Structure formats: structure tokens, C-alpha cells
Amino acid sequence: MNDSILIVDDSSYIVDGLVVLLKRKGFKPIAAHGGDEAISLLSSNKPDLILLDIMMEPMDGWETLDKIKANPDTRDIPVLMFSAKKITPEEAQEHSLNIEDFVSKPVNPAQLLNSIKQIFERRSNVKLEAGVAKDAGQDAVIIDEYSALRKSIEVDKNLLEVLKNSSGMNIPGHVVPEEDLESINKLEKKVKGDEIRLKEIHEMFVKVG
């Protein structure tokens, strides 16, 4: 395994710990102690994945993410966000298209490694499926839509769990703020709609194949 992973956090303690963990699991970690350093490193390094903390100074994780996705040379690199800060419904809605997953701090090594594994496996599977569809003569626009849906559904489902936990929905007797409920319901409807569309496209692939 030679996959390189850029770790971005302004805490040296966390960066050093993740470097040790990822090296032990066969990855090639690259350390960046903040958003500015990460952007600088990305000018000469193209990692296979970026682990990006949200709460950083002076440039926070969302600002760093925007810069990564605005650059044609780096926008296709998958980004896994992690933070002790609870992600808000607004943040989930605004950034869900640009991230691959979200892991809460303190980072559980098993959970983090599982998320990394799922990201790499999903991207590999989507690439393979897209290649098969292309060889079968499927329209490129439909293939791109299918690939985007495969990612967004999984990311949105993960964000839903994060939002539900942070809102206290699973706590008996807890009153969930109306705006949180509205955001959660909206995201659930989006996932259901995307799943229906994904099924339609998959059936098109089967017919063409």
C-alpha cells in the first residue's frame, strides 16, 4: 500500500499521532500544520487523500477546503474532514458536495481507518463501474451523474448520522430545535431522491450492458 495522505491540523500532537498511525498501516503520511502550509504543500504534492481539521487558525478547515476545491489541480483529491467541533446543519448543506466523509474528535483510530478504507474502495468501484458503462456506450453525462450520486449518497448518510447525534435526537425527552429538524428532514429527502435516481441510472446501465 503506497497511498499518500496529507494530514492538516494546527495541533502538532494530533498530526504526529496520525502520522504514526498511518505509517503503521502502510500509508505514506504528509504533515501540514495548518491550512496555509497545506495549500503550499499541494503545489508540489498530490496526495491520494486529505485529512482536514475544521478548527484551525488563521485559516480554518472550511476556508482551506474552498481553496483546495477552487484549484483545478487539487479539486479532485478526496477530503475527509475531522473535528471536535460539531458540524452544523448549515455546514453540512454547504459543504457536503466537497467532502468524502466526516469523523469526530477525539479520533477513534478504527473509525478513521474504516472511513479511509471506504473512501478508497468507493472511488475505485465508481471508477470501475464508470469504465464499464463507457465501454458499453453509455452517455458521458449520465456516467458523471452516476459517479456523483454514488459519492453524495454515502456522504449525506454519514452527515445525517452526525447531525442526528449532535442534535440529540436519540436522547429520550430531548427537544430538538426546529431548524435542526428541518435540516435533517431536508437531507433525508435528498438522500431518498438521490437513491431513486441512482437506481434509475443503474437500470439504464444494465440495459445497455
Instruction: Give residue-wise pLDDT tens across range 96-107.
Output: 778 988 888 888
Q: Do both 47 and 131 map to the same domain?
A: no
Determine what percent of the chain is predicted with pLDDT higher than 70. Answer: 99
Q: Residue 177 falls within a domain, yes or no?
A: yes
> Distance between CA 18 and CA 14 in Å, rounded?
6
- Which amino acid, residue 29? P
Q: Do both 196 and 122 map to the same domain?
A: yes
Structural domain ending residue among the three candidates 30, 59, 77: 77
Q: Do both 73 and 113 map to the same domain?
A: no
Q: Do both 125 and 178 map to the same domain?
A: yes
> Distance between CA 105 and CA 107 in Å, rounded?
4
Q: Do both 73 and 114 map to the same domain?
A: no
Structural domain ending residue among the three candidates 77, 92, 116: 77
Which domain CATH number covers 114?
1.10.287
- pLDDT, tens digit (0-9, with 9 covering 90-100), for 17-70: 999 999 999 999 999 999 999 999 999 999 999 999 999 999 999 999 999 999
- pLDDT, tens digit (0-9, with 9 covering 90-100), for 166-191: 788 878 888 888 888 888 898 899 99
- Predicted pLDDT of residue 113: 95
Which domain CATH number covers 41?
3.40.50.2300
133 with 143: CB under 8 angstroms? yes
Backbone angles phi, psi at 45, to 5 degrees: -125, 135
Q: How much is the average pLDDT of 2-9?
A: 94
Q: Do both 68 and 165 map to the same domain?
A: no
Q: Residue 101 falls within a domain, yes or no?
A: no
- Predicted pLDDT of residue 209: 57
Q: Do both 70 and 139 map to the same domain?
A: no
Q: How confident is the model at residue 164 (pLDDT cuts 50, 70, 90)?
A: confident
Q: Do both 46 and 136 map to the same domain?
A: no
Residue 208 has pLDDT above 90, yes or no: no
Q: Residue 83 falls within a domain, yes or no?
A: no
Mean pLDDT of the chain: 89
Q: Do both 123 and 201 map to the same domain?
A: yes
- Predicted pLDDT of residue 203: 86
In whole angstroms, how large is the CA radius of gyration of the chain? 18
10 with 53: CB under 8 angstroms? yes
- Predicted pLDDT of residue 59: 94
Cell numbers linked to 173: 425527552
The alpha carbon dihedral of 139, 195, 175, 166 has a sign of negative
- Structural domain boundaries enclosing 4: 1-77
Query: How many domains is the chain built from?
Result: 2
- Predicted pLDDT of residue 85: 76
**Chain centroid to CA 47:** 15
